[in-house]
Amino acid sequence: MEAIIRKLYSLLMWGAQPFLRRKLLRRGQAEAGYLEAVDERFGCYTQPAEVASELVWVHAVSLGETRTAGILIDALRGQWPGLRVLLTHGTATGRAEGTGLLRDGDVQVWQPWDSEAAVARFFTHFKPRLGLLLETEVWPNTVACAQARGVPMALVNARLSDKSFQQAIRMAPLSRPAYAGLAAVYAQSDSDAQRLRALGATVQDVFGNLKFDATPDQAQQAQGRAWRQALGQPVLTLASSRDGEEDEFLKQIVALALSTRAQPAINTVAGAHVQVLIVPRHPQRFAEVQALVEKHGLSVSRRSTWNGTPQPADVWLGDSLGEMALYYAMSDVALLGGSFAPLGGQNLIEAAACGCPVIMGPHTFNFAEVSELAEAAGAARRVVDMDEAVRSARALLARPSEQQAAAQAGLGFAAQHRGAAANTVQALAHFLDG
C-alpha cells in the first residue's frame, strides 16, 4: 500500500512541474531571485559534477532556517575545518542569505523538486556523503532516494507542531516511511520528539533550539541602542508582521491616539511620545505596507532611505533584511508578528537575546515550547488579540522598571538555553568522523 501511495505521489509531483514553473515566474515578478537558475529545481545543473562523496548537504528552505543553518555550519567547521558544504534552499530570501555562508569549495543550489527524476539527478550530480535537513523539511522521494543510495539523512533542530502532526497522520502511508527513513533526528523539545517518534522517526536526542546559540550582531545592537537613546522616546515595534496584522495594528494605534486627543501621529501610547516601527516579514510586501500606513493618514520613513540616522515620521518601516538585531535593539517592546493571525507565530529568541520584551498573540503553534518557556521566564507576555497587545504595550511602556525587568528576563532566558549546536555537532560525529 505504501509503495502505491508513493507512486501516486510521485506521479502528482511530476505532473505539477509546469505549474511550479508558472508559480516561480509569478513570484519572480516581485522577487527576482526566484527567476535565478530555475532549472536547478528540476535537477539540471551547470556546476561541475562531483567525482567523490565529499559534500555535506545542508538544506535550509527559507530565511529563518538559513540563519539557523549558519549556526550549525560554523559549529561543524569548528570541528571539521575542511568541511565542504552543499547548501540548498526553497526561497529567494533563503538563497540570498545563504551566499554569506559559503567558502571555497562549497556549492549552493536550489532544493530539488521532490519528483523521482529531479531528486535522482541531484544525488547523482553532487554525491553528498550526509544530508542535514533543518527543522521540518522531510520529503518522501528525497528520503527514499537517499536510502537507496546509502546516504544517511538527519533531521536537525527538528520540530513538528501538533497541526503538522495531524496532517502527517492523515497522510501516514506517505509520511511514515519518510520519517522512518531518516538515519537520525535531533529534536528541539520533548513534545516535538514525542510527535516525531509517533510517525516512526528515530529520535536520538532532544537538544533544544539551535537559534539560542546565535549571537545577535553586536554592531547592529550598538547602532540600534544609540538611535533609541538619541530619539529620547519609547519605540513600539510590530516585528516580522504578516498580511492583515499591520492593518489591525494601525487601527488600534490610531484609535488610541484619537481617544487621547493626540494628533493622528500616534503621540500618546503611554502618556508620552512613542515612535512606531513596523518590520514586515516578507520583503515583497514593503511597498504594500507603506501604502497601508499612508492609507491610515500617517507618514512613513523607510529604513532604506535613512542616511546615517532615522528620519522623522509617524511610522518607521523596517524595509531591510538581516537587521532584526538592529530593530530589536531600537525597540522598548515588540509585538510578535505571525501570532495575531492563525499563522503559527515567529521565532522570538532573537528578540530575547537583544533584551527586547515580547508581546505575542494566541497563535504560536510553530514555536509552542519556546513561546511557553519565554512566557514562564517573564521575557514574553501572551494576549488574546491585537487590541489587548497594544494596551499591554501601553502599560509596559508606562512602567520603565517593569519594562527593564522584562528585558533582563529575556537576556537570561536566551543565555540559559544555549548549547544545542555543540550537542548536535557531537552527535553528528557518528556520521562525519572517518
- Please, are residues 61 and 89 in contact by the beta-carbon 8 Å criterion? yes
Partners of residue 289 on adjacent β-strands:
none
Distance of alpha carbon 179 from alpha carbon 200, whole angstroms: 6
- Annotated catalytic residue, options 31, 36, 54, 65: 65
Cα–Cα nearest to 141, from 122, 160, 166, 157: 122
Verify whether residue 288 is a known catalytic residue.
no
Which triple of cell numbers denotes residue 235?
519605540
Q: CA-based Rg of the chain, rounded to a whole angstrom?
A: 23
The SS3 call for residue 209 is coil
179: exposed, middle or buried (C-beta count within 10 Å: 0-12, 13-18, 19+)?
buried
Cell (9 digits) for 36: 535565478
Q: From start to end of 192-332, where are the E strands?
A: 203-206, 235-241, 275-280, 300-302, 315-317
Cα–Cα dist 394/269, whole Å: 5
Question: CB atoms < 10 A from the CB of 125, how many?
Answer: 20
Residue burial 303-328, b: 16+ Cβ < 10 Å; e: rest: beeeeeebeebbbbbbbbeebbbbbb
Strand ranges in 344-424 using DSSP code E only, listed in sequence order: 358-360, 380-382
Helix, strand, coil percent values for the chain (each to nearest 5): 50, 15, 35
Q: Which residue has the cell 525587568?
A: 405
DSSP secondary structure string for all residues of 285-314: GHHHHHHHHHHTT--EEEGGG-SSSPPP-S
Catalytic residues, by residue number, are: 65
